[in-house]
Amino acid sequence: MKSQIPKFVNPRYYNWITKTVILTGLALLSTPLWEKLLKEVLKKIGINISEDYHPYIGIILIIIAVTFNLISQYFAFNRIEQKSETPQKEISKCETFENFYQFCQSLIPLMDDNKYIFKTYGPNSLASEIEPLRNDLTLWNESRVDYIIPNNEIIECIIIQNKLLIPALHTELFQKLRAHIYSFKKHIENPNFDYSEYQFPSEIEYIIKDACYNITTSNKGFKDVSYWINNKLSFKEIDEKFIIGSFLFSTENSNDLDVLMRLNISNKELLRQLHDKLNDVEYLFRLKFKKNIHLTVFTAQETEAYYEFLNKNNYRYLLNGKRLTLFNSSFYKKCFKWT
Amino acid sequence: MGKDLHYSILPFIKNALNGHKNVTAILPIDDPDFYIFKIVRIGAFDDIYLVLSDDYYFGDYSYISKHPILKNGGFILIARPEANDYDTSEPINKIGVGKIGKLLGALNRNDFWNYITPPKKYQ
């Protein structure tokens, strides 16, 4: 109930008409006060202004403000870290965490990395489809030692260090994961060691991701970003849009924001025009949130592929495009729910 | 398109290209948003500009968003193994699009943009 009161007292000015009228009113109200204040300040530094010079001083102030803003934007943009020439493996550490959410967040990049390597280099992967590499699992064998084993060691260490955070309901599952890690290592040391009874417990991925998804998507940071991106992507050419990927599990640790969208256009010229508009949004997002946006776009002719892609993404957050205004009845209903 | 690729992908691609009989050098071209390489080939084969796509799905929008370095032709490599394949029939632009297998085949031709991956033989 308490949270509803400030919302009503301090409404968000979605509507440009409201904003303009309020600003005009405020400007008229505060003009005499500002005038007095400015005159006093300028008098103190030895400048006396007459009534005739007011518009010129106003224009000079606006020019100064706009120049300052442009310079600040330029430096802010250059401060954004560009990706290094070669993508590097993220360094994960074995740490003690405060809660199950943080614990799960630390496991996701490590487990995703293992999954990606298995899918890319493991048996029946892309590597085996390339002629010179057919029947050659060298890359898989190397990746297991170079990446999966070190990742597994950190995963196991995190589980041991934070075992008290694991809910009793999931303790057995985490034990199964530890058994898998141990047997996998044994199998690599001795290929005759059979670890088929200790396969990776795949359901653990959902336990971990569910925990992160539910908390992350209700965070203020996530809501701010999703609200911003939803508004900026309110183009008539976009029929549906979702946030997907790592941002759903951790707003701080994700490298970028993945946005999936379905368009209602296929015409190349219209696509080019939309591309220019989306480029502007990407630029603004980078300035504001110091992250990149990664767009996955399906045209009207690619609807079938879109739904296939959508179904593969178990975790997604719909950006519904509804924009609240001061005249939106549902907004008032929410505000007065407590009365 | 951008630079959001798993750390194992670039070495994998470079390794595959270095092993190709027609490739003599892979020269990186500096770009803030894309991984771009100039592939130098032996003898009478022309050099190729290679731009890597990090798209999860490569479709018409991705093709429209291609890098300006490709204005005189080149190859867009769909670098993510989990991404789809893409067919384009615009030989006038001299642009080839595909995954690593298609690129390795296309490197055997001067008109690399016309190369079509042969259908897989089922064993």
pLDDT of residue A81: 56
Nearest CA in chain B to A271: B61
Interface test with A, best of B23, B64, B99 (most A CBs within 10 A): B64
Q: Is residue A134 predicted with pLDDT exceeding 50?
A: no
- What average pLDDT does the segment A146-175 reach? 95
Phi and psi at B8, nearest 5°, equal -85, -15
Alpha helices in A45-168 (DSSP H): 54-79, 100-121, 138-143, 149-161
pLDDT of residue A16: 67
With an 8 Å Cβ cutoff, are A271 and B55 in contact?
A: no
B positions 1-60 inside 8 Å of A (CB): 2-10, 12, 16, 19, 28, 30, 32, 54-57, 59-60
- How many CA within 13 A on the CB side of residue A250? 15
- Of A82, A107, A279, give the one whose Cα is nearest residue A205: A107
Of B12, B61, B84, the CB nearest to A297: B61
Q: How far is A101 from chain B (nearest CA, A)?
A: 25
pLDDT of residue A67: 80
DSSP state of A94: -
The percent of residues in chain A predicted with pLDDT above 90, rounded, is 48
pLDDT of residue A253: 85
Band of the pLDDT at A82, cuts 50, 70, 90? low
Dig out the tokens for B77 from the structure: 């490599």
Of A89, A120, A309, the CB nearest to B57: A309
Is there a contact between A256 and A293 (Cβ–Cβ < 8 Å)? Answer: yes
- What average pLDDT does the segment A52-58 reach? 69
pLDDT tens digit sequence for A204-260: 999 999 999 999 999 999 999 999 999 999 999 999 999 999 999 999 888 899 999
pLDDT of residue A170: 95
Distinct helix (H) and strand (E) counts, chain B: 3, 5
DSSP string of B16-34?
HHHT-TTEEEEEEE--SS-
pLDDT of residue A91: 74
Residue with tokens 């934007």: A73
B114 Cβ under 8 Å from any chain A Cβ: no
Q: Is residue A60 predicted with pLDDT exceeding 70?
A: yes
Band of the pLDDT at A79, cuts 50, 70, 90? low
pLDDT tens digit sequence for B28-51: 999 988 999 999 999 889 999 999
The residue that leads in pLDDT, A208 or A47, is A208
Nearest CA in chain B to A268: B64
Dig out the tokens for A87 from the structure: 């993508």
Band of the pLDDT at A337, cuts 50, 70, 90? very low
Is pTM beyond 0.90? Reply is no
Is there a contact between A248 and A317 (Cβ–Cβ < 8 Å)? Answer: yes
Question: For the ranges A71-85, A182-196, B78-92, B97-111, which has the lowest average pLDDT?
Answer: A71-85
DSSP state of B36: E
pLDDT of residue A54: 65
pLDDT of residue A227: 94
CA A96 to chain centre: 25
Phi and psi at A80, nearest 5°, equal -65, 125
Gap between the terminal Cα atoms of chain A: 9
Of A86, A89, A305, the CB nearest to B57: A305
pLDDT of residue A290: 86
Q: Is beta strand A292-298 parallel, antiparallel or unpaired with respect to A256-263? A: parallel
Q: Is residue A299 predicted with pLDDT exceeding 70?
A: yes
Question: For the ranges A128-132, A158-162, B52-56, B102-106, which has the lowest average pLDDT?
Answer: A128-132
The percent of residues in chain A predicted with pLDDT above 70, rounded, is 80
Quick one: CA torsion of A33, A37, A38, A40, rounded to 10 degrees?
140
- Of B72, B49, B80, B51, give the one whose Cα is nearest residue B63: B51
Average pLDDT for chain A: 82
CA B25 to chain centre: 15
pLDDT of residue A24: 80
Interface test with A, best of B3, B20, B89, B121 (most A CBs within 10 A): B3
- What average pLDDT does the segment A301-317 reach? 94
pLDDT of residue A336: 44
pLDDT of residue A125: 64
pLDDT of residue A338: 39
pLDDT of residue A225: 95
Rg (CA), chain B: 14
Max alpha carbon distance in chain B (Å)? Answer: 44
> Could you report the predicted ipTM of this complex, rounded to two decimals?
0.92
Q: Is residue B123 predicted with pLDDT exceeding 60?
A: no
With an 8 Å Cβ cutoff, are A88 and B61 in contact?
A: no
Strands (E), chain A: 238-244, 256-263, 292-298, 316-319
Band of the pLDDT at B12, cuts 50, 70, 90? confident
CA A283 to chain centre: 15
- What average pLDDT does the segment A304-332 reach? 72
Band of the pLDDT at A7, cuts 50, 70, 90? very low
pLDDT of residue B46: 93
Angle, vertex CA B51, rays to CA A84 and CA B8, nearest 5: 50
Contacts of B60 in chain A (CB under 8 A): 266, 268, 271, 299, 301-302
With an 8 Å Cβ cutoff, are A268 and B84 in contact?
A: no
**Sign of the torsion formed by the C-alpha atoms of A306, B77, B3 and A71:** negative
Helix axes of A54-79 and A268-289: crossing angle, nearest 10 degrees? 90
List Cβ neighbours of B43 (8 Å cut-off, separation of 6 or more).
none
